[in-house]
Structures are given as C-alpha cells and as structure tokens.
Amino acid sequence: MAIDIGISPHKDILEAIERYYPKRDLEADLDSGPRIGEGLEVIPSVKKEEKEVQDLLKLTELPPVVRFTNSIIADAINLKASDIHIEPQKASVIIRYRIDGIMREIMKTDKHVHASLVSRIKITSNMDISIRRKPQDGKAQVRYRDKSYDLRVSIIPTSYGEKIAIRILDPRGAALHIDDLGLSEKPLRDLEKSIERPQGIILVTGPTGSGKSTTLYACLNKLNTPDVNIITVEDPIEFDIQGINQVQINPKAGITFAAGLRSILRQDPDIVMVGEIRDNETASIAFQAAQTGHLVFSTLHTNDAPSAITRLLDLGVEPFLISASLTAIIGKGS
C-alpha cells in the first residue's frame, strides 16, 4: 500500500486527535451513569485440588458429619477408651477403640464417609486438609458432660487413604495420687519406699494404653514439693503439672530424648522423668544419671516387668549398671 506524505500544522493535528479520539473521563463514568461493572461477574479460576478442598470444607460443616464425628468421640469417652483408630479399608472404614490396653472393633461403615470424617477431624485439630500424602499431628479439646478432654491426633497416609489415631487424655489424670492406682497394700508400700530413695531408676513397663504415663505422673505428684527440682522430657507432654518443668521433644530443633536428657541434667535436677527409653544413648544417660544422685523415672515398651531386664541388655546397658541403678520395675497389665 502506497503511503502519501503530507505536512500539517501541530495545532491541526491535535484538533483532529481530539475530534476522532475523544478522551473519556473515567472517574466520571464510574461515579455517574450506568455502572461500568454492572452485569459483570468475575469467575475465580480454581484449580481442581482447590475445588476439592472447598468442597471438603463445606462437607465438614454439614450436621450429619458433625454428629457422626462427635458421636465417635463421645462413645469412646463413655467406654473409657484411651485411643480411637479410624482405619480405611478397600471398601469400608473400620473404627476401633483401645480399651484397657486391648484394641476392640466398634464399627464398620461405608467408605464414602471417610473423606468427610477425616476432614472434620483435621479442621477441629488445626491441620491442613489439603495435605493428604504426608503425616500430620494436631490436637484439640472437647467438652463432654461438663468435663474437658484433650485429644492428640495423628494422621498418616495408607494404601487406602488416611488413617487416624486419636489419644484421649483426661486432664484430671494429672492430679492422680499413687493411692488412686489400684495397687494392693504390699505393692503400694514397696512403690512408696522406692520413690522415696534419693537416687536410682524406676521403670514402668506394659503394652500401649496400659497406664504407664499415668503411673509416672502419680509418682511425680507424690514427690512434687517446693524443695525439689523436677524436670521431665516427654513426647508429647500429656498433662501440665504445676511446679514441674516439662520439656517437649522436638527432633527438628535437635531435642531428642537423649539430647533433652543430657541438657536437663545440667539444670541441677533432683528428679528426672524420661517419657520413654527407646535407644542405647538414652538408656546409658538415664542409668548414669541414676548413679550420680538423681532419681530417674521412665517407661519401657515390654509386656511385663521381667522382660525389662532383657530389653535393657538389648539396648546395650551394662549389667553392672542395671544391678547398681535399677530400683524398681512396675509392670502394668493390659
């Protein structure tokens, strides 16, 4: 296309622009006359995963989902269960309680309730419902029949979906005395004599949910006076006890049982409680502490008291340390 070149005064060019391309007053258009946005709806761009999360959020507030979740927790509390397990299977969901240390199947329900049930528990436990392929831990507090209960929630992905384990903690357990443990007269006297010694190590053994931690807290309550320094290292801290310094395990921050125990021994403690002896390092430090003027409490995952000796030898504790430091072993039956 041929282009013709012409000459025009500057004033004429500006007038032509003004005539053919008039400048609009945008502010006036917005303030008066028909709104520029009327009839326009912005449709947010939502990714598939985000839409699924939004749908789950709506599900968690539905009355049937809320009632079903609440009924599971209330039923477990009524039955004095220590744990709730929600386990997805290929075509169903199994709900089991741990009662007196024994797992009991309570209910089998349809698989379609699983997603909403998991999401409801995540919401109440301050977890991220969009994360489904990584383990998560959370906690919640519920009130039932005018009593408060703490819930420690753990979620882990399995081949058929996310499995939930809920530990039910009654805060009143923090105020238990050794007289409330249900021991007969002679074992109770033996326990009282053992915890009154100035040094040594006292172990509580038994299967999961048998009451090991409750027994330790009862012993600490008996010894908790203003003239002693009691420090614990736990995972997790199950009960808050006034007058006792409690340290939470945090592997990401470098606080393991062994590292935590090593640190608290520099805090001039009289009495030390280690939540659990799991490895050689923790066991060695605990037994050395029991030889240097500290009274140490801890737990071992064995089925009975005699098995504790074998377990300690397996962990690499020297036999002479066991004979010199071990004051008592309390076996908790299932």
Tell whether omega for the bond before 236 is within 30 degrees of 0, i.e. cis. Answer: yes
Amino acid occupying residue 253:
A
The whole-angstrom distance between residue 321's C-alpha and the CA centroid of its chain comes to 35
Q: What interhelical angle do 280-290 and 257-264 show, nearest 10?
A: 20
Q: Which two three-digit tokens encode residue 42? A: 């912005």
Q: Please give the residue that has the higher pLDDT: either 210 or 272.
A: 272
88-119 residue pLDDT tens: 999 999 999 998 778 889 989 889 889 888 98
118-172 residue pLDDT tens: 988 898 888 888 888 899 988 888 888 888 888 889 999 999 999 999 998 887 7
Spatial separation of the C-alpha atoms in residues 241 and 211, rounded to whole Å: 17
Which of 48-57, 103-112, 117-126, 206-215 is predicted with the least confidence, judged by mean pLDDT?
48-57
Q: Phi and psi at residue 211, in whole multiples of 5°? A: 105, 25
The residue among 174, 170, 172, 134 whose CA lies nearest residue 154 is 134
Helix (H) or strand (E) holding 59: helix 48-60
The answer to whether 171 and 86 have CB atoms below 8 angstroms apart is no
**HSE toward the beta carbon, residue 313, CA cutoff 13 A:** 8
Residue for token digits 């799991």? 278
18 pLDDT exceeds 90? no
Spatial separation of the C-alpha atoms in residues 177 and 179, rounded to whole Å: 5
What average pLDDT does this structure show over 306-332?
90
Mean pLDDT for the chain?
Answer: 82
For residue 256, what pLDDT is reported? 84
182-199 residue pLDDT tens: 778 888 898 889 989 989
| 291: DSSP letter | T
Identify the band that residue 62 occupies on the pLDDT scale cut at 50, 70 and 90: low
For residue 113, what pLDDT is reported? 87
- pTM, 2 dp: 0.67
For the chain, what percent of residues have pLDDT higher than 70? 84
The residue among 35, 39, 55 whose CA lies nearest residue 47 is 55
For residue 158, what pLDDT is reported? 93
Cα–Cα distances (Å) from 273 to 15, 163, 202, in that order, read 90, 31, 9
- What residues are paired with 326 via a beta bridge? 201
Q: Averaging pLDDT over each range in 38-42, 162-166, 302-306, which range is the top one?
A: 162-166
Q: Is the dihedral of CA 254, 255, 261, 263 positive or negative?
A: positive
For residue 34, what pLDDT is reported? 46
What's the angle, vertex CA 244, arms to CA 241 and CA 246, rounded to 5?
90
